[in-house]
């Protein structure tokens, strides 16, 4: 057994200890090569529970956060899922093993292009990507059974996203300012309104509109923050 396989087994055991009880989620994480989504200089840390830089001031989220968010979605093999914040494509790859179709939006062109290349190299065919403003959702493909957002809204989930959620569907999103962010799970009710419950404290980069300008790459982000992907 090679070092990566040993580290991966250790990570799966750790996730179980931290409350990840879904065997489907654990299997998806085990079958997804995290090292393929991160720069080569960080490959030795691929299966540690760490957020790692992927460029443009963004990071790949730590495996425990990815696992908790994915488990919170309660995915079904027939679900159609929208992800806001493709990043390196890791979260989308996990989702792709648990649902019928993933639609994912990224606002940073270099990340969008790199994610496409990685997903193509892994021959993952049930993911469709878009370079665009994730805060607007993906109207042409709505409604969605599930929506996951990997950046923090300030006070509420964007209306464009809740309006694209199916009745009975879930939306998982971080909300709050830096230093006081919590993950929330929204449920779409038959009357069209959403109720929400607070899940756990998180640290994510802010949810921003529009396609990112090149100069955004110069903004220094807290390296400990979670982010897309």
How far apart are alpha carbons 141 and 94 in whole angstroms? 20
pLDDT of residue 216: 65
The radius of gyration computed from the CA coordinates of the chain, to the nearest angstrom, equals: 16
Which residue has better confidence, 160 or 217?
Answer: 160
pLDDT of residue 224: 45
| Token output for 196 | 């929400």
Instruction: Write out pLDDT tens, residues 50-91.
Output: 999 999 889 999 999 999 999 999 999 999 999 999 999 999
Name 202's bridge partners. Answer: 181
Q: Is the pLDDT of residue 222 over 50?
A: no
Name 206's bridge partners. Answer: 152
Q: Is the pLDDT of residue 225 over 70?
A: no
Instruction: Write out pLDDT tens, residues 85-130.
Output: 999 999 999 999 999 999 999 999 999 999 999 999 999 999 999 9
The conformation of residue 179, written as its DSSP 8-state character, comes to T
Instruction: Write out pLDDT tens, residues 23-50.
Output: 999 999 999 999 999 999 999 999 999 9
Question: What mean pLDDT is predicted for residues 119-143?
Answer: 98
pLDDT of residue 5: 84
Task: Please state, rounded to an integer, the average pLDDT across all residues of the chain.
Answer: 93
pLDDT of residue 179: 86
**C-alpha distances in Å from residue 100, one per residue of 49, 127, 145:** 28, 9, 11
Q: Is the pLDDT of residue 220 over 90?
A: no
Instruction: Write out pLDDT tens, residues 181-200.
Output: 999 999 999 999 999 999 99
Task: State the DSSP string of 82-108.
Answer: EEE--TTSHHHHHHHTTSSEEEEEES-
3-218 CATH, one of 3.30.420.40, 3.20.20.10, 3.40.50.150, 3.30.1380.20: 3.40.50.150
**Banded model confidence at residue 217, pLDDT cuts 50, 70, 90:** low
Closest alpha carbon to 19 in 95, 76, 71: 71
> Which residues belong to the active site?
61
């Amino acid at each position: 057994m090679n070092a990566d396989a040993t580290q991966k087994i250790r990570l799966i055991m750790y996730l179980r200890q931290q409350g990840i009880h879904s065997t489907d989620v654990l299997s998806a994480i085990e079958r997804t090569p995290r090292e393929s989504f991160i720069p080569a200089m960080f490959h030795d840390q691929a299966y540690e529970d760490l957020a790692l830089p992927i460029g443009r001031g963004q990071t790949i989220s730590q495996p425990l956060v990815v696992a908790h968010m994915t488990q919170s979605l309660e995915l079904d093999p027939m679900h159609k899922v929208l992800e806001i914040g493709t990043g390196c494509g890791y979260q989308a790859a996990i989702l792709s093993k648990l649902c019928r179709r993933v639609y994912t939006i990224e606002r940073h062109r270099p990340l969008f292009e790199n994610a496409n290349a990685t997903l193509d190299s892994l021959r993952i065919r049930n993911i469709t990507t878009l370079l665009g403003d994730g805060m607007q959702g993906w109207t042409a493909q709505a409604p969605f059974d599930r929506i996951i957002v990997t950046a923090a809204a300030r006070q509420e989930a964007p209306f464009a996203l809740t309006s694209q959620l199916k009745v009975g569907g879930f939306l998982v999103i971080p909300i709050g300012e830096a230093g006081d962010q919590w993950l929330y799970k929204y449920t779409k009710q038959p009357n069209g309104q959403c109720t929400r419950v607070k899940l756990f404290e998180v640290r994510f980069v802010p949810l921003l509109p529009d396609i990112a300008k090149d100069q955004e790459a110069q903004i220094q982000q807290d390296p400990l923050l979670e982010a897309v992907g």
